[in-house]
Structure 1
């Protein structure tokens, strides 16, 4: 990401500023609901249980975001990374890869060691495989979009 000055911040829900929460929700709605034409209830009651990892540019604009969960909060027996989203204006810059590398490192450093489970959109499986996630063979449809479960286990990567 030559020439791009960024800031990475990861905090629990109750440490988010109102402005951060607003920009997170706006980006999630822009991509998941509007861009992907997928009406669903994004506010699922799990934000309060997550760490929120944000990558912003020098102007404070949100470029990418994930939420991170301790073992068994989202998937029984697993830690998890979810709501993975990159702003349309930041795509192709490498921010998405950085987002996932930082998210994996934060999960491994913050929570009880357990494999990380994600529900990935099928078209992104090669991207996640390049980061060390492996397919489970469990595909599913969520809100009309093909998904697959993937696992990252630092002992197998």
Structure 2
């Protein structure tokens, strides 16, 4: 792992915890039961339930290890507690417009909770890096694979603080 902080929103951290609990408390025990049953059926070399079960168990264990490391290194940041709400910072929901006045709404979130199709982009992505620190009215240039593109910040919003 690197020394850079693993920022994550409370919702993103909760989703990681939920996935970890689901894998550890539900999927893994059921799979171990199937593997035990399959192992008792005799020849394991041609036993599909056993072979697939062992493979899936390794995948689950690998994901559990990854989730565990990411949760240990996570620094939960509640965007609702942001004091500089006039700037684009971690957790901001930003409305931007390009040169053609096409608007997009993006939310800057942690790397582990990014989903570009839902408008949640990693705070380390090139567009988020260009937008960080911007205020309404600022125009920022983003170097994209298809060439540089200018975006104007139209609006900045932050969610309410978690209780």
TM-score, normalized by length of structure 2?
0.22
Point out the structure with the larger strand share: 1
Decide which structure has the larger Cα Rg and report it. Answer: 2
Tell me: higher relative CO, structure 1 or 2? Use CA pairs within 8 A at least 6 residues apart. 2
Point out the structure with the larger helix share: 2
